[in-house]
Amino acid sequence: MGLVSCSIAGDYSRVPIPSKRVYGRVREQLLAPTTVSLRPVNRLASKDLTGKIVDSARVYGLIIQAGDGQGIVVYFTTRQDSVGRPIGIRQSAMKRDSLLYRQMMFPEVRRVPIGVTSAQMMFINPKTQRMETKVYRDHISAQLTLSPVGGHIVGQVLVVLPDMNRSFVCGAFKVPRTS
């Protein structure tokens, strides 16, 4: 799969991804992940007027989490039923209902969006000291590459969320291959 891209001023989809181990910031807290996992979530399919499936995709969640539960989950789709082949996604921080987004994510006859669909941030609220979750569907800037190596998937990620603190996660990771 080629890289999904476009140029929008101020986006992070073309910033070089650091080659060191994945790290980040959630709100104003440093994120030093203790676990990184890649899990299939579900399968999407679109049908033509006759009911024949014309395109399908698999939704995955890349879960990057620290020991205290804080972290970021990035949900993305690929055309493959597994991430057994190298893939790359580059997505500018754009709004989902924009014409550019629709042209990029739904070209020609493809009806299932390919790319980052949403991101979820888990954080401890400093006022209540309770874990909270915030989901972002728009203005997510993302780069993700995945390559199979033996029984593992080696990847690099850079995701910047549109919160006021510019929460992010970036770096390299290695996870067991999923089916």
pLDDT band (50, 70, 90) for residue 164: confident
Q: List beta partners, residue 157.
A: 144, 171
| Percent share of the chain, pLDDT over 90 | 33
Mean pLDDT for the chain? 78
| Tens digit of each residue's pLDDT (9 = 90 or more) over 122-139 | 999 888 999 999 999 888
| Choice between 6 and 18, residue whose per-residue pLDDT is larger | 18
Q: Please give the C-alpha separations between residue 177 and each of 11, 56, 81, 132, in angstroms, as whole numbers.
A: 30, 21, 13, 30
End-to-end, the C-alpha distance of the chain in Å comes to: 18
* Closest alpha carbon to 22 in 39, 11, 13, 35: 35
